[in-house]
């Protein structure tokens, strides 16, 4: 009656052979194509290095001014702008400026990459039900798989450093922008689309003049979520050598430095709130013309 | 531009629809024979899950006139008008605009046709919410690739023409419904297309504003002489605007003719229901009920295109029982007495309130 108490699992040696086979195959593939893969990611690596250098080497008052200005331009809200200023000043005062710049750098680049890849994928998905039913489960897996698991193949391929970190962040953070671009375009008012067609719009004109602008509030919500998820992965990504606010947190866990962990954790929260409020306010401003305010 | 322009009016914008069928569903062609042999819309839907949108539509709309298509909700009006610029593809049949079969056009030709030969006005306005009034109105020209300064001068001209000067930089959501539809109309007119398609364009508006918009349209039409296809479910609107009216039921045209034809000789009960509350005195013209010959006793005259209300007023003002009817040249072509006039005005009510009575011959 052993088969009742123990699940009839696959034979141990066979299982070991299977795992070994897959690992071996992947390793061989990596050895053979590692250079090509690395070359492929070279531009992204350069972009990461450049943006980090820019943020670290520019005198802090200029960066601070720039961040506050962007917050103002995007949100047009004194409250949000002031909150941004205070948060950044506190971060600097408690000596976390450099790490915050590193974190902002990888976030900006990974958000940028997510947008560049995510929006076209979302558009393609909105145009084909078949593609939608293919991509949706992939996105589900990407979002539910624990962050650590796909760090493994990424590290096997690219080692430890900025690029694998970015890759991990993008994989984790890209699903919302894809999903919401797809959703936003599918939700565009059918009659407005008919109008665009009736006036003889080409597919590109229809996309550029109608679908993207009308989907923009939804797309912005996706960008906002993408930014938040990217930030959430910063701590995990620091395990594979991404520098920034995540590393001191890891260090603090290992050595039980409560205050160090707390400060850096709060800095991450501060940055998250800034990005969240600013991008949301920007999205709201975009949407203002779609609200119904008869006879104003 | 694709077609020649004379006096600002493009030529050749007759619309002819021949043997048009539309079945919605997964295998429309499969049910064509059954539908041709008379399967009803209901049977097709209940037994086979397909929707009969249009059945054997044959309509001919002369250039420069207003063709109204009327019917209850779900009768296929929107489906029909969307075949004219092929927003919907037919199951079988031909749609000829200016002699060209719209259904046979390739992608490029269709786009050109839509850009230059047609313009459309929608029930819920379908404006771009993120664009100002002027940027909505330029849309058709922008898509055509007209230079920006020309787009703007044209747009401003039409915005002015529909009475929206001063609102150029407002967003649609800052305007009332009537004003939004003026934007929709200006957008369509700016396209300078000879064929204007209007799908329940005024149905979403309040009655007074609707009357207002009808006047705007009629006023423009005396100047522009476009071919206009106007969809409505409102019989008063149909009678006011339509040079000709086609009535749809369950995807079929059940009567086609002038407003008078339909009011005087409704083809069946469905149409009788439509026209039962119509003010016949204002629709029926003297010409259609007058008796032949000059009446020697008549001292007053009325035009043959005047309506019965006018004729009755003339008679009562002159305290006469009879009036002579004159044509456009002032010649007397017949006469009309008060009794006939009154009988023609009330005929419908009598017939309707006593169904199945001996009154039929
Ligand atoms: N895309 C579609 N798929 C299935 N049925 C449709 C579709 N479009 C319209 N119909 C059906 O065709 C009929 C006519 O619709 P429509 O032309 O919109 O009517 P109307 O404009 O007169 O209210 C209705 O029964 C409607 O349900
Ligand atoms: Mg309709």
Substitution site in B53, B70, B204, B230 for ligand 1 pocket (most atoms within 8 Å of beta carbon): B53
3-state SS record for chain B: CCCCEECCEECCCCEEEEEEEEEECCCCHHHHHHHHCCCCHHHHHHHHCCEEEEEEEEEEECCCCEEEEECCCCCCHHHHHHHHCCCCCCCEEEEEECCEEHHHCCHHHHHHHHHHCEEEECCCCCCCCCCCHHHHHCHHHHHHCCCHHHHHHHHHHHHHHCCCCCCCCCCHHHCCHHHHHHHHHHHHHHCCCCEEEEECCCCCCCHHHHHHHHHHHHHHHHHHCCEEEEEECCHHHHHHHCCEEEEEECCEEEEEECHHHHHHCCCCHHHHHHHCCCCHHHHCEHHHHCEECCCCCCCCEEECCCEHHHHHHHHHHHCCCEEEEECCCCCEEEEEEHHHHHHHHHHHHHHHHCCCCCCCC
CA–centroid distance, residue B122 to ligand 1 (Å): 16
The residue that leads in pLDDT, B70 or B356, is B70
Query: Per-residue pLDDT for B359 more than 80?
Result: no
Query: Per-residue pLDDT for B2 more than 80?
Result: no
Q: What is the pLDDT of residue B225?
A: 93
| pLDDT-derived band at B244, boundaries 50, 70, 90 | very high
Q: Are residues B209 and B89 in the same domain?
A: yes
Stretch B298-326: mean pLDDT, rounded?
A: 89
Q: What is the pLDDT of residue B305?
A: 85
**Which residues in chain A touch residue B114, judged by CB atoms under 8 angstroms apart?**
197-200
Residue B54 domain-assigned (yes or no): no
Q: Are residues B197 and B93 in the same domain?
A: yes
Q: Are residues B290 and B271 in the same domain?
A: no
* Alpha carbon distance, N-terminus to C-terminus of chain B: 56
Q: Are residues B205 and B260 in the same domain?
A: yes
Q: Are residues B263 and B225 in the same domain?
A: yes
Residue B285 domain-assigned (yes or no): yes
Query: Per-residue pLDDT for A90 more than 90?
Result: yes
Query: Per-residue pLDDT for A293 more than 60?
Result: no
Q: Are residues B246 and B285 in the same domain?
A: no
| ipTM, interface predicted TM-score of the complex | 0.84
Q: What is the pLDDT of residue A1?
A: 67
Q: Please report, for the domain that includes residue B289, its CATH number.
A: 3.90.1280.20
Of B224, B249, B275, which residue constitutes the final position of a domain? B275
**For chain B, percent of residues with pLDDT exceeding 70:** 93
For residue range B289-302, list pLDDT tens digits in order. 899 888 888 888 99
For residue range A205-222, list pLDDT tens digits in order. 999 999 999 999 999 999
Residue B31 domain-assigned (yes or no): no
Query: Per-residue pLDDT for B277 more than 60?
Result: yes
Beta-strand pair B195-199/B118-121: parallel
Stretch A138-156: mean pLDDT, rounded?
A: 81
Q: Are residues B9 and B85 in the same domain?
A: yes
Task: Look at the alpha carbons of A86, A92, A98, A99 in this order and tell me if their dihedral is positive or negative.
Answer: negative
Stretch A246-268: mean pLDDT, rounded?
A: 91
Residue B144 domain-assigned (yes or no): no
Q: Please report, for the domain that includes residue B219, its CATH number.
A: 3.40.50.300
Residue B344 domain-assigned (yes or no): yes
Q: Which of A72-76, A160-164, B227-231 has the lowest mean pLDDT?
A: A160-164
| Pocket, ligand 1, Cβ cutoff 6 A | B 24, 51, 53, 71, 73-79
Q: Are residues B98 and B225 in the same domain?
A: yes
Of B275, B290, B320, which residue constitutes the final position of a domain? B275
| pLDDT-derived band at A164, boundaries 50, 70, 90 | confident
**Which residues in chain B touch residue A203, judged by CB atoms under 8 angstroms apart?**
none
Q: What is the pLDDT of residue A40?
A: 87
Stretch B76-80: mean pLDDT, rounded?
A: 96
Q: What is the pLDDT of residue B52?
A: 94
Query: Per-residue pLDDT for B1 more than 50?
Result: no
Q: Do B115 and A195 touch (CB under 8 A)?
A: no
Query: Per-residue pLDDT for A238 more than 90?
Result: no
Query: Per-residue pLDDT for B11 more than 60?
Result: no
The residue that leads in pLDDT, A163 or B94, is B94
Q: Are residues B218 and B327 in the same domain?
A: no
Of B211, B242, B275, which residue constitutes the final position of a domain? B275
The partner residue sitting opposite A198, judged by closest CB among B87, B128, B173, is: B87
Query: Per-residue pLDDT for B211 more than 60?
Result: yes
Asked whether the beta carbons of A116 and A47 are under 8 A apart, the reply is no
| pLDDT-derived band at B348, boundaries 50, 70, 90 | low
Please give the number of the atom of ligand 1 that sits closest to the Cα of B53.
12
Instruction: Say which ligand is closest to the CA of B55.
Output: 1
Q: What is the pLDDT of residue B299?
A: 87
What residue of A is the nearest CA neighbor of B109? A200
Stretch A113-129: mean pLDDT, rounded?
A: 95
Domain of residue B101: give its range.
5-13+60-117+193-275
Query: Per-residue pLDDT for B349 more than 80?
Result: no
Residue nearest to atom 2 of ligand 1 (CA): B24
For residue range B123-179, list pLDDT tens digits in order. 999 999 999 999 999 999 999 999 999 999 999 999 999 999 999 999 999 999 999
Distance of alpha carbon B124 from alpha carbon B50, whole angstroms? 27
Q: Are residues B253 and B335 in the same domain?
A: no
Q: What is the pLDDT of residue B293?
A: 86
Distance of alpha carbon A206 from alpha carbon B342, whole angstroms? 57
Residue B125 domain-assigned (yes or no): no
- Total count of domains within chain B: 2
Q: What is the pLDDT of residue B361?
A: 35
Q: What is the pLDDT of residue A290?
A: 67
The residue that leads in pLDDT, A252 or B10, is A252
**Which residues in chain A touch residue B119, judged by CB atoms under 8 angstroms apart?**
198-199
Residue B138 domain-assigned (yes or no): no
Stretch B18-38: mean pLDDT, rounded?
A: 93
Query: Per-residue pLDDT for B360 more than 50?
Result: no
CA–centroid distance, residue B53 to ligand 1 (Å): 6
Q: Are residues B109 and B218 in the same domain?
A: yes
Residue B24 domain-assigned (yes or no): no
Q: Are residues B337 and B249 in the same domain?
A: no
Domains of chain A: 17-286 (1.10.3720.10)
């Amino acid at each position: 009656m052993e088969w009742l108490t123990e699940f009839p699992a696959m034979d141990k040696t066979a299982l070991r052979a299977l795992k070994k086979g897959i690992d071996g195959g992947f390793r061989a593939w990596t050895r053979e194509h590692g250079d090509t893969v690395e070359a492929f990611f070279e531009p992204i690596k350069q972009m990461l290095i450049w943006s980090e250098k820019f943020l670290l080497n520019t005198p802090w008052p200029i960066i601070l001014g720039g961040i506050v200005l962007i917050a103002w331009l995007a949100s047009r809200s004194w409250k949000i702008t002031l909150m941004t200023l205070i948060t950044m000043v506190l971060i600097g005062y408690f000596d976390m400026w450099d790490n915050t710049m590193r974190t902002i750098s990888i976030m900006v680049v990974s958000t940028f990459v997510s947008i560049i890849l995510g929006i076209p994928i979302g558009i393609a998905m909105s145009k084909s039900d078949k593609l939608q039913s293919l991509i949706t489960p992939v996105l589900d897996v990407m979002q539910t798989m624990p962050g650590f698991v796909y760090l493994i193949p990424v590290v096997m391929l690219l080692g430890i450093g900025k690029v694998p970190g970015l890759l991990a962040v993008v994989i984790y953070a890209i699903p919302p922008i894809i999903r919401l671009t797809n959703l936003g375009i599918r939700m565009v008012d059918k009659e407005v689309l008919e109008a665009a067609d009736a006036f003889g719009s080409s597919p590109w004109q229809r996309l550029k003049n109608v679908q993207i602008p009308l989907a923009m509030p939804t797309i912005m919500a996706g960008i906002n979520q993408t930014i938040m998820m990217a930030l959430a992965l910063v701590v995990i990504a620091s395990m594979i050598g991404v520098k920034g606010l995540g590393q001191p947190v890891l260090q603090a866990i290992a050595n039980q430095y409560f205050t160090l962990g707390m400060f850096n954790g709060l800095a991450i929260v501060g940055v998250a709130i800034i990005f969240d409020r600013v991008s949301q306010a920007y999205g709201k401003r975009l949407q203002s013309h779609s609200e119904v305010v008869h006879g104003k | 531009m694709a077609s020649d322009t004379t006096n600002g009016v493009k030529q050749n914008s007759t619309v002819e629809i021949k043997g048009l069928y539309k079945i919605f569903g997964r295998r429309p062609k499969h049910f064509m024979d059954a539908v041709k042999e008379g399967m009803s819309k209901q049977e097709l839907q209940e037994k086979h899950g397909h929707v009969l949108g249009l059945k054997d539509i044959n309509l001919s709309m002369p250039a420069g006139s207003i063709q109204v298509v009327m019917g209850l909700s779900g009768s296929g009006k929107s489906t029909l008008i969307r075949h004219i610029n092929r927003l919907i593809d037919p199951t079988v049949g031909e749609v000829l605009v200016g002699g060209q079969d719209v259904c046979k056009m390739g992608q490029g030709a269709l786009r050109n046709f839509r850009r230059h030969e047609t313009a459309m006005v929608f029930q819920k306005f379908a404006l771009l919410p993120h664009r100002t009034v002027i940027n909505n109105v330029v849309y058709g020209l922008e898509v055509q690739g007209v230079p920006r300064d020309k787009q703007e001068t044209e747009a401003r001209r039409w915005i002015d023409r529909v009475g929206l000067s001063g609102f150029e930089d407002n967003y649609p959501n800052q305007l009332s419904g009537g004003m939004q539809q003026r934007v929709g109309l200006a957008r369509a007119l700016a396209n300078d297309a000879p064929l204007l398609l209007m799908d329940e364009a005024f149905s979403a508006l309040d009655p007074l504003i609707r009357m207002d918009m009808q006047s705007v349209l009629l006023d423009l039409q005396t100047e522009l002489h476009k071919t206009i296809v106007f969809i409505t479910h409102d019989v008063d609107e149909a009678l006011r605007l339509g040079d000709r009216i086609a009535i749809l039921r369950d995807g079929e045209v059940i009567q086609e003719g002038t407003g008078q034809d339909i009011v005087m000789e409704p083809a069946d009960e469905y149409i009788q229901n439509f026209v039962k509350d119509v003010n016949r005195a204002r629709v029926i013209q003297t010409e259609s009920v007058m008796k032949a010959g000059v009446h020697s006793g008549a001292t007053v005259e009325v035009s043959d295109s005047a309506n019965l209300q006018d004729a009755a007023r003339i008679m009562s003002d002159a305290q006469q029982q009879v009036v002579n009817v004159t044509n456009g040249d002032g010649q007397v072509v017949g006469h009309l007495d008060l009794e006939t006039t009154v009988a023609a005005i009330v005929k419908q009510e009598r017939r309707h309130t006593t169904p199945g009575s001996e009154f039929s011959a």
